[in-house]
């Protein structure tokens, strides 16, 4: 269901879906009210800024909604206030047994939450290193109350682990969203900007509440109309959107067309070494900053999947990125240069050709050649957001070049938000992976947070999963991925279960049955989805173009199964050094040796690295073919169990959200059955080996 200006919808039936985890449900427990209310009677803020105003507004609305009490607001320091907000420089910290030395060690987005009993009055001190810290602290305090945590003895110091925490919108100006599974764009319609700025504000609230501090507002595939976003035709509209995001501590970036000097600049070339091109970009950047003084910079997809780039002029990626970076340097802008680069027209039947090698092969030789305001955005895996694939070997391989990791919150290859697939456990595996780049303990999270190589810029990006559906994400439970992404990149040490529980409590309330049931469904879902889809890391068994549903040999650039090389004798891609593509050698030791060895390779990635007979025995004792049969039958039964678990919550969740999820689960069952039957039938016919349990395979 799509509704315009949903922020003013009075139908609580719909608002439950729209409000996501910012429900601020009324508290009825008298003991909790007795604890919380004395701390929430009044707010005092010691300095004024749009960001502080956003924090105060959110706190006031949340308190009124949860405690049925509108707090008094003082726009100056008041010792009578029960919540005091300010930066560490605007509050006399010694009055509250705090030292400014603490804040000197923290980054600008940090904050302290401290309970104080002063002169018999209960207070909460919310001190930010900057106004952004105040905003994030406000959301933290509200989250504590939503999840019914005690606030009597708060003594919290919080700092985001990752510097850049960005969402990439793949929105097109015609209103469509590439890989969008929850309606159309909230930014554009019919090649114009939307008039519904209220919804954009609500999106900013959601993003800030989980610590997102940057957004690119258009698709990385920049087509003709979107190229004009950096012109005077649309920059006034971009400015309006940037103003909204700025008030929530979020910096705005734009994806650009590398051929812009030709497309909109009337030049005959976009060669990055051409002086006219360099001057054009310098003038264009100056124009953008005249509209948006804190503009973040450019996101660039170049020389991949038919997009223009420096290869057209026999230039490398460093030369291509640096012309933009140089133009942005005077304004502290950045270039986010995507490493998703490969030749989609190569001959996939050649078993020495390997798409997985592409990012490393293209970028590793350029280490140290990029300007220091360029960040390489590397997908979490070497392929393309598959349900199971190893970490990209590019992480840790470029000591002298800023890197950030790219996730996909939108579930493109993991059920498109029709099927339930909670991805936080997957993302944690990537973060925790030890690359051994500088010996043991060189985890991915220490690379992307910048600490291992002292990057100037680093962080995490993700493809957004929101659209203009009433509940933002199509499937209400997909909100958990949106929430979980923000929380995890703020603090990669948070557990997937902890994040899931927070989200369920904030979204559905604190009924123990509701919390435990939904949390369990979320935590089981990634494994369930993998069970009935592509097995053992092989990936890609998906319909072309729209990437939904099983098609074992059907991927766009595939030629009769050349992403998995299934034949009558076996399945899997040989990526070993001795007989395959040599991809395993892109990893540091000992990972390279482990993946290269058939004996030592983890079963979960077996078919990603090795071509094996169907009778190859896994470490579990199962043969590969029997594992395929067993998991696909099991996956269907697990989806049936998800349905049973959800149905037990009937009457405990509002009708809109209950029915929304129930419908998606029924669709997931249909999908799981289709996957099971097509995959099992394919491999039965390929191998000629029957299921040892004599189940029906069509």
* 3-state DSSP of 300-369: ECCCCCCCCCHHHHCCCHHHHHHHHHHHHHHHCCEEEEECCCCCCCCCCCCCCCCHHHHHHHHHHHHCCC
The total number of residues shown for the chain amounts to 698
Domains in the chain, ordered, with CATH?
6-158 (3.30.379.10), 164-494 (3.20.20.80)
* Band of pLDDT at residue 19, cut at 50, 70 and 90: very high
Whether pLDDT at 13 is above 70 = no
Which one-letter DSSP state was computed for residue 388? S
Phi, then psi, of 144 in degrees rounded to 5: -60, -45
Which one-letter DSSP state was computed for residue 118? E
pLDDT of residue 659: 97
Q: CA-to-CA distance for 213 and 486, rounded, in angstroms?
A: 10
* Band of pLDDT at residue 348, cut at 50, 70 and 90: very low
Q: Where are the alpha helices (DSSP H) in 42-130?
A: 50-67, 100-104
Crossing angle of helices 275-291 and 235-246, rounded to 10°: 50
Q: Write the burial class of residue 263 (CB in 10 Å: 0-12 exposed, 13-18 middle, 19+ buried).
A: middle
Q: CA-to-CA distance for 180 and 177, rounded, in angstroms?
A: 5
Torsion angle of C-alpha atoms 550, 556, 560, 561, degrees rounded to 10: -60
Which residues, 6+ apart, have CB-to-CB distance to 470 below 8 Å? 1, 2, 3, 6, 14, 17, 18, 656
Whether pLDDT at 7 is above 50 = no
Mean pLDDT confidence for 492-504:
98
Q: Which of 205-214, 267-276, 345-354, 508-517 has the lowest mean pLDDT?
A: 345-354
Phi, then psi, of 254 in degrees rounded to 5: -130, 140
Percent of the chain with pLDDT over 90: 87
Sign of CA dihedral 173, 179, 183, 186: negative
Phi, then psi, of 599 in degrees rounded to 5: -70, -40
pLDDT of residue 2: 38
Collect contacts of 648-652 with beta carbons under 8 A, ≥24 apart: 648/513, 648/517, 649/513, 649/514, 649/517, 649/518, 652/511, 652/513, 652/514
Q: CA-to-CA distance for 377 and 317, rounded, in angstroms?
A: 13
Mean pLDDT confidence for 248-263:
97
pLDDT of residue 1: 35
Whether pLDDT at 213 is above 90 = yes
* Band of pLDDT at residue 344, cut at 50, 70 and 90: very low
Is residue 646 within 8 A of residue 697, CB to CB? The reply is no
DSSP assignment string, 569-581 = SEE-----TTTS-
Which residues, 6+ apart, have CB-to-CB distance to 142 below 8 Å? 22, 24, 58, 59, 62
Distances (CA, A) of 479 to 465, 520, 643, 645: 8, 16, 18, 19
Mean pLDDT confidence for 434-457:
98
Q: Which conformational region is residue 29 in: left (phi greater than 0), alpha (psi within -120 to 50 degrees), or beta? A: beta
The residue assigned the tokens 């850049």 is 164
46-83 pLDDT, tens digit per residue, is: 989 999 999 999 999 999 999 999 999 999 988 889 99
pLDDT of residue 367: 98
Which residues, 6+ apart, have CB-to-CB distance to 11 below 8 Å? none
Whether pLDDT at 560 is above 60 = no
pLDDT of residue 347: 44
Per-residue b or e along 6-19, where b marks 16 or more CB atoms closer than 10 Å to that residue's CB: bbeeeeeebbbbbb
Catalytic residue positions?
305, 384, 412
Structure tokens at 404: 């950030």
Whether pLDDT at 299 is above 90 = yes
Q: Is 168 helix (H, G, I), strand (E, B) or coil?
A: strand
Q: Which of 5-14, 168-177, 511-520, 643-652 has the lowest mean pLDDT?
A: 5-14
DSSP assignment string, 208-252 = HHTT--EEE-S-SS--HHHHGGGSTTTHHHHHHHHHHHHTTT-EE
Q: Which of 208-217, 368-377, 451-460, 548-557 has the lowest mean pLDDT?
A: 548-557
Q: CA-to-CA distance for 649 and 281, rounded, in angstroms?
A: 57
Structure tokens at 125: 């001190």
Whether pLDDT at 9 is above 60 = no
Q: CA-to-CA distance for 503 and 210, rounded, in angstroms?
A: 11
130-180 pLDDT, tens digit per residue, is: 999 999 999 999 999 999 999 999 999 999 999 999 999 999 999 999 999
* Band of pLDDT at residue 203, cut at 50, 70 and 90: very high
Mean pLDDT confidence for 340-349:
56
Structure tokens at 523: 């935590």
Q: Peptide bond before 53: cis, by omega within 30 degrees of 0?
A: no
What is the chain's mean pLDDT, rounded? 94
Structure tokens at 84: 């005091």
The residue assigned the tokens 């942005």 is 328
Is residue 470 within 8 A of residue 3, CB to CB? The reply is yes
Whether pLDDT at 355 is above 70 = yes
Is residue 1 within 8 A of residue 474, CB to CB? The reply is no
Whether pLDDT at 353 is above 80 = no
Mean pLDDT confidence for 494-503:
98
Which one-letter DSSP state was computed for residue 186? S
* Band of pLDDT at residue 293, cut at 50, 70 and 90: very high
Is residue 121 within 8 A of residue 82, CB to CB? The reply is yes
Q: Which conformational region is residue 136 in: left (phi greater than 0), alpha (psi within -120 to 50 degrees), or beta? A: alpha
């Amino acid at each position: 269901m799509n509704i315009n200006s949903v922020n003013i919808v009075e139908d609580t039936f719909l608002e439950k879906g729209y409000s996501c985890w910012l429900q601020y449900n009324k508290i009825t427990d008298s003991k909790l009210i007795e604890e919380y209310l004395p701390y929430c009677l009044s707010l005092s803020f010691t300095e004024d800024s749009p960001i502080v105003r956003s924090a105060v507004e959110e706190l006031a609305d949340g308190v009124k909604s949860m405690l049925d009490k509108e707090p008094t607001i003082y726009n100056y320091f008041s010792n009578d206030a029960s919540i005091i907000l300010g930066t560490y420089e605007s509050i006399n910290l010694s009055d509250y047994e705090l030292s400014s030395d603490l804040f000197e060690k923290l980054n600008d987005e940090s904050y302290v939450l401290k309970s104080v009993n002063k002169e018999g009055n209960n207070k909460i001190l919310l001190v930010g290193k900057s106004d952004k810290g105040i905003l994030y602290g406000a959301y933290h305090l509200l989250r504590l109350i939503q999840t019914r945590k005690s606030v009597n003895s708060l003594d919290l110091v919080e700092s985001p682990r990752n510097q850049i925490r960005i969402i990439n919108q793949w929105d097109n100006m015609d209103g469509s969203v590439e890989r969008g599974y929850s309606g159309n764009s909230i930014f554009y319609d019919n090649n114009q900007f939307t008039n519904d700025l209220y919804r954009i504000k609500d999106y900013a609230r959601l993003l800030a509440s989980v610590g997102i501090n940057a957004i690119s507002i258009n698709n990385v595939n920049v087509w003709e109309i979107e190229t004009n976003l950096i012109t005077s035709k649309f920059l006034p509209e971009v400015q309006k959107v940037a103003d909204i995001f700025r008030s929530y501590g979020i910096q705005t970036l734009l994806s650009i067309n590398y051929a812009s000097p030709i497309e909109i600049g009337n030049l005959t070339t976009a060669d990055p070494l051409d002086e006219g091109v360099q001057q054009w970009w310098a003038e264009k950047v100056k124009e953008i900053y005249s509209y948006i003084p804190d503009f973040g910079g450019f996101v660039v997809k170049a020389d991949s999947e038919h997009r223009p780039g420096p290869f057209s002029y026999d230039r490398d990626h460093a030369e291509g990125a640096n012309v933009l970076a140089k133009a942005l340097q005077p304004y502290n802008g950045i270039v986010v240069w995507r490493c998703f680069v490969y030749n989609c027209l190569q001959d996939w039947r050649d078993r020495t050709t390997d798409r997985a090698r592409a990012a490393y092969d293209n970028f590793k030789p350029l280490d140290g050649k990029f300007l220091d305001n360029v960040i390489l955005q590397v997908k979490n895996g070497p392929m393309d957001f598959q349900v199971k694939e190893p970490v990209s070997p590019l992480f840790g391989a470029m000591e002298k070049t800023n890197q950030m990791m790219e996730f996909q919150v939108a579930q493109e290859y993991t059920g498109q938000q029709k099927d339930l697939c909670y991805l936080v456990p997957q993302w944690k595996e990537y973060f925790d992976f030890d690359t051994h780049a500088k010996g043991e303990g060189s985890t991915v999270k220490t690379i992307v947070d910048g600490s291992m190589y002292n990057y100037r810029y680093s962080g995490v990006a993700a493809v957004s999963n929101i659209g203009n559906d009433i509940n933002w994400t199509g499937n209400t439970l997909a909100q958990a991925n949106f929430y979980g992404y923000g929380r995890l990149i703020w603090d990669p040490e948070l557990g997937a279960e902890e994040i899931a529980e927070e989200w369920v409590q904030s979204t559905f309330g604190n009924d123990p049955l509701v919390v435990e049931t939904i949390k369990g469904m979320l935590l089981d879902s990634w494994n369930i989805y993998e069970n009935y889809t592509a097995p053992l890391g092989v990936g890609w068994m998906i319909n072309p173009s729209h990437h939904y549903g099983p098609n074992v040999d059907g991927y766009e650039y595939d030629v009769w199964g050349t992403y998995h090389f299934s034949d009558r004798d076996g399945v899997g891609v040989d990526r070993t050094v001795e007989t395959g593509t040599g991809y395993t050698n892109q990893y540091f030791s000992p990972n390279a040796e482990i993946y290269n060895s058939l004996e030592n390779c983890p079963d979960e990635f077996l078919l990603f690295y090795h071509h094996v007979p169907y009778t190859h025995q896994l470490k579990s004792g199962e043969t590969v073919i029997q594992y395929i049969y067993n998991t696909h039958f099991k996956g269907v039964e697990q989806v049936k169990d998800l349905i049973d678990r959800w149905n037990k919550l009937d009457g405990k969740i509002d009708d809109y959200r209950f029915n929304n999820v129930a419908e998606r689960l029924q669709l997931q069952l249909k999908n799981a059955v289709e996957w099971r039957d097509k995959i099992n039938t394919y491999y039965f016919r390929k191998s000629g080996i029957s299921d040892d349990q004599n189940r029906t395979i069509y």
